[in-house]
Every structure is written in C-alpha cells, then in structure tokens.
Amino acid sequence: MKTNKKPLTIIVIVFALELILVGILGIVFRNNINMIYNDIETGELQDINQVKEECIELRKTVNILLTTIMGLYVVTTIFLTIYLSKMVIYPYKKMLESREKKEKAEETEIKTKLLHMSEGIIAFDINGKIDLINPAAKLLLKISPEDFTFEDIFNKFKLNLNMEKLIYLEELASLEQRIEVEDKTVKVLFSPFRNEETNKPEGIIAVIQDITENVQLDTMRKEFVADVSHELKTPITTIMGYADTLLEGEYDKKTEKEFLNVISSEARRMARLVTDLLDLSRLDNNKKRIKKTSFDLGDLAKECTQKLAIETKKKGHSVECFVTADVPPVYADKDDIQRVILNILTNSIKYTPDGGNIKIYVGFVYSDAYIKIIDNGIGIPEEDLNRIFERFYRVDKSRSREMGGTGLGLSIAKEILDKNGGSIDLKSKVNEGTEVVVKIPTK
C-alpha cells in the first residue's frame, strides 16, 4: 500500500516550529526578566511606573508568542487527528472490516460446500443434540423433522452405540458403522472432536457416505468369481469323468470315440469360456486397443453369414441379408463389430428350432448405421429381458450349455459397442422370435 508521508512531515515541522517558539518564548521571557532585574539593580529603573510599563511590554510579547504557540498547537492537533484517523484508524478499521468479510465469506463457503456435499455431515454437541446437519445427511439417513438428537437418529438402526462410547474414543480414533437404510447401504464414520485449548471432548462428527454401488460391485465381483468357477467346474468334471472311465475299462472303438467326442467338445467349451473371459477382462481394463477404421457394414454382415454357413446349414435355417442402398461407411473397430455380429447371429442360429428363418437388415438413421438381426426362434420371456446383458445370465442354463454357450456373448457385445460409441437393443417374444438392433456411428 502506498502511504502519503507529506502530512506527517508537515506535522513534524510544525511541532518543531512550536518547540522553537517555546524556546524563543523562554529566552525572550528570561532575557526580559533579566533586563528588568538588571535595570532595577543598576538603578536605571527606579520608578515603579516604568517597571510596570516594562512588565506590560513583556506580557504583550509573551501573549503574542503564547497565542501563536496555542494557535499552532490547535492546528497541529487538528492535523494530527485527521492524519491519525486517515492513516492509522481508518486503515485499521478497514482491515478489521475486510477480516470480518473474509471470515463471513469463508463461513458461507463452508456452508455452501456442506450444503452441496454428496457426503452427509452431522455435528452433535456433547449432549447429543444436532449442532449442524447438511441435506445429504438428512437424505441418506432418512432423517425426519422430529429427529433432534443422536438417539433419535441412530436408535432406529439398532446400533450398539451411544454418545458416551464415542466421546471417549481415543484421540484421533474414529468408529465406522455400516447401516442399511431402506434399499441403500451407507457407511457412517463417527469421530469425537475436542476443544483445541482444553482438549476436552465437545461433541461428535458423523460423516455419512452412500456405499450402495460399492457393495453391489463387491457382490457382483463375488458372484462373478463363483460363476466362473462353476462354469469351469462343469466341463472339468465331465472331462475327468470320461477320461477316467476310458482309462479304467476296455471299450469298443465306437464307445471310445463317443467318449472322446464328449471330452473334446467339453474342452472346446472351456477354451471358449476362457477366451470370452480374457476378452471381457481386456475390455474391462481398457487393455484392448480400439483400431477404428471406415468399413462397409453390409459387406461385413455378408461375411459373417458366410462364416456361419456350416452351422446354419446344420440346422436347416434360411438366412437372408437385405442391405439398403447408400449406407455410409461405419467408423469403428472392424474386428470388434464382427465379433458382435457373430455373437448375435450365433444366438439366432442356436436358439431357433431347425428350419428357422433369420433375416438381416442393414440400413442407416441420422448419423448411425444399423444392423438388425431377426429370428423366429424360441424367444426370451419378458421378465428376463432386462438382465440379458449381464455376465453369465442365461434364460435356460442347461439349454445354453447344451448349445455350447458361455453366457457371455451378449455382455461382450454390449461392452464392445460401448467402447465403439454404438448401442444394442433387444426385443423378444417367447415362441415368436427375437430382434436385435445394433447401431454403429458413421464418420
């Protein structure tokens, strides 16, 4: 801050002037008194009237000097007051005001942050009364307007907890509790807080976090591990069973071949499962690099039908492919999209009784090209439709296994399309058929 020093200099000069004047006044006064005294001593002043006159003269001079000094004193006092109020009191007041403003702004900021935090915060005083609570806490713990205390809030969750237990937790210690609130799981972290000077406990802070998603993910992960183990266990048990039987007995060539066929097909199923799992894991960890290129979706659809010609023929299905003219090239990872089409087509072939009809349409809407695969197979019950893209979800487990399915085809397709900016939709009716629409962006 730039301060103006001029007024201070003037005040100092005037003060110095006043001192000089006081000095002059003293000297004048002393000299005159001396003069009068000497004059009386030497006898020059004998007449009392003369002495009086000299004294009056002296008084006049002193009066003038005194008035000047007083005037200067008043002026400097005024200036000094103005200067001090301008340079010291006013800035000090301003500093206090700005500090207050800053504190208020900080308080407002904290309040706003608390208000908009996704975590819930509740501060209880030493008696368990709510001191502060934010909306997230009310929402997460379903707190009603009648809840005012620690007990009001937490007693309904039947926690083996009370204020005393928490208040006397060791310094820097906290206690974590998981609570089920309707369909949500929340984690509450209780920590006592102390007075900074006396170190006496003053209350408890509860931080509430919604961990529903984490719990769900954890459950899904556990289920996935269980599913994988189960899926692998079935073919392994079959392979071991048939191999042991072959080793233990003497069988004719035909039976041996049958057993070996089972072993081979189960081993292949395991291999498919492991490949699917590896693909999923690569997609999950973003390890698979997506190489986007422009290509023709109609051509790819035709290639895929040719790749599956043997399976189609085996089941006696008819497959027709209709491609709308002028479909712009799609922009995606070609191998990925081929995988998606093959998965959907394989399903249509698998889940359609022999001699079925499979129709493929390729066209475009707005900036997306689409491929629609329609079959007249067994269809999917309505209640299963919203879970069909989950890993290992199958309408009929044994039928899927019989058909060589891993239960991962549609989830891989969805994952791939998510990564390529596309989408997948499935409609189905039991005993009527299934329609799957895949949309892929064009460049």
Binder to ligand ADP among 424, 434, 438, 439 (CB under 6 A)?
A: 434
Binding status of residue 120 toward ligand ADP by CB under 6 A:
no
CB of 324 to ligand ADP, least distance (A): 23
Buried b (16+ CB within 10 A) or exposed e, 367-400: ebbbbbbbbbbbbbeeeeeeebbbbbbbbeeeeb
Chain centroid to Cα 240, Å, comes to 50
Binder to ligand ADP among 300, 400, 417, 438 (CB under 6 A)?
A: 400
> For residues 154 and 392, which CB has a smaller minimum distance to ligand ADP in the complex?
392
CB of 204 to ligand ADP, least distance (A): 50
Separation of alpha carbons 136 and 119, rounded Å:
6
Give the DSSP H or E segment for 201: strand 201-210
**Dmax of the chain from CA atoms?**
171
> For residues 49 and 431, which CB has a smaller minimum distance to ligand ADP in the complex?
431
Closest of 98, 102, 32 to residue 62, by C-alpha: 32
CB of 440 to ligand ADP, least distance (A): 19
CB of 334 to ligand ADP, least distance (A): 21
> For residues 45 and 413, which CB has a smaller minimum distance to ligand ADP in the complex?
413
Binder to ligand ADP among 87, 117, 274, 388 (CB under 6 A)?
A: 388
Binder to ligand ADP among 124, 242, 351, 370 (CB under 6 A)?
A: 351
- 359-378 binders of ligand ADP (CB under 6 A): 375, 377-378
Binder to ligand ADP among 312, 347, 376, 420 (CB under 6 A)?
A: 347
Question: Would you give the binding string for ligand ADP spanning residues 411-430, x where CB under 6 A is met?
Answer: x-------------------
Separation of alpha carbons 348 and 340, rounded Å:
13
The answer to whether residues 397 and 384 touch, using CB atoms and an 8 Å cutoff, is no
CB of 392 to ligand ADP, least distance (A): 8
**Candidates 169-177, 208-216, 294-302, 406-414 — which segment interacts with ligand ADP by CB under 6 A?**
406-414
Please give the span between the terminal C-alpha atoms of the chain, in angstroms, as a whole number: 60
Binding status of residue 408 toward ligand ADP by CB under 6 A:
yes
- 189-248 binders of ligand ADP (CB under 6 A): none
Binding status of residue 407 toward ligand ADP by CB under 6 A:
yes
- 168-187 binders of ligand ADP (CB under 6 A): none
Separation of alpha carbons 64 and 72, rounded Å:
12
Token digits of residue 337: 């999209």
CB of 265 to ligand ADP, least distance (A): 15
The answer to whether residues 131 and 123 touch, using CB atoms and an 8 Å cutoff, is yes
Residues in Cβ contact with 319 at an 8 Å cutoff, skipping those fewer than 6 apart: 305, 312, 358, 359, 360
The amino acid occupying position 296 is D
CB of 218 to ligand ADP, least distance (A): 23
Expressed in percent and rounded to 5, the helix, strand and coil fractions of the chain are: 55, 20, 25
Measured CA to CA in angstroms, residue 199 lies from 166, 171, 172, 191 at distances of 15, 9, 12, 14
Binding status of residue 273 toward ligand ADP by CB under 6 A:
no
Token digits of residue 60: 């006049």
CB of 313 to ligand ADP, least distance (A): 18
> For residues 76 and 343, which CB has a smaller minimum distance to ligand ADP in the complex?
343
Separation of alpha carbons 426 and 437, rounded Å:
6
Question: Would you give the binding string for ligand ADP spanning residues 45-84, x where CB under 6 A is met?
Answer: ----------------------------------------
Residues in contact with ligand ADP by the rule CB under 6 A: 343, 347-348, 351, 375, 377-380, 388, 394-396, 400, 405-411, 434
